[in-house]
Amino acid sequence: MSLRRRVRVSLIALAVLALPALTGCSFVEQTMNQTVQDAVREATGGDVELSEGVPEGFPTDAVPLIDGSVRGATQTKDETTHWVVLVSGDVSADEAEQALTDAGFAVDDEVSTADLGSVMTLSSDEYDVTVVGASDSVLYTVTTRS
């Protein structure tokens, strides 16, 4: 995934994760769910639906996820596989970053704000990962490297 596309996906995801902090009404929750789906489509380049659990084929041995409630999706396009995983609960982007760096990922870029959360891109020899974190959710987008 190009850096420009990764940044765009990250900014969309950060905005999505910030919505619950603004208000707790069900309309906003519905809007957030739709926006997450839109961010997933942007990240994967296609129409995918998040389902419960770790998505099929996700490289759990190479890309560790933090503990929490997990929803995910997988798409393969032009021989490139994209995974999107949303982990909710008592989670943090710092935990995700630590697990990934412990697994050998290097932090390529990181932006954080005290009020909204953080966005970081990491890479290994095999995968590019974008992590977007807010107070109670962490969104991973994982792409195989070409």
pLDDT digit string (tens) for 58-68? 999 999 999 99
The pLDDT, as a whole number, for residue 116 is: 65
Which ranges of 45-116 does DSSP label H, i.e. alpha helix?
93-102
pLDDT at 76 over 70: yes
The share of the chain scoring above pLDDT 70, in percent, equals 64
Span 131-146, average pLDDT: 84
Assessment of whether the complete model's pTM goes beyond 0.75:
no
Q: Please report which residue ranges of 65-145 form alpha helices under DSSP H.
A: 93-102
Mean pLDDT of the chain, nearest integer: 76
Q: Say whether 30 sits in a helix, a strand or coil.
A: helix
Please tell me the distance from the alpha carbon of residue 66 to that of residue 90, in angstroms, as a whole number: 10
The rounded distance, in Å, linking the Cα atoms of 145 and 127 is 5
Q: What is the pLDDT of residue 27?
A: 47
- Find, among 14, 74, 88, the residue nearest to 46 by Cα: 74
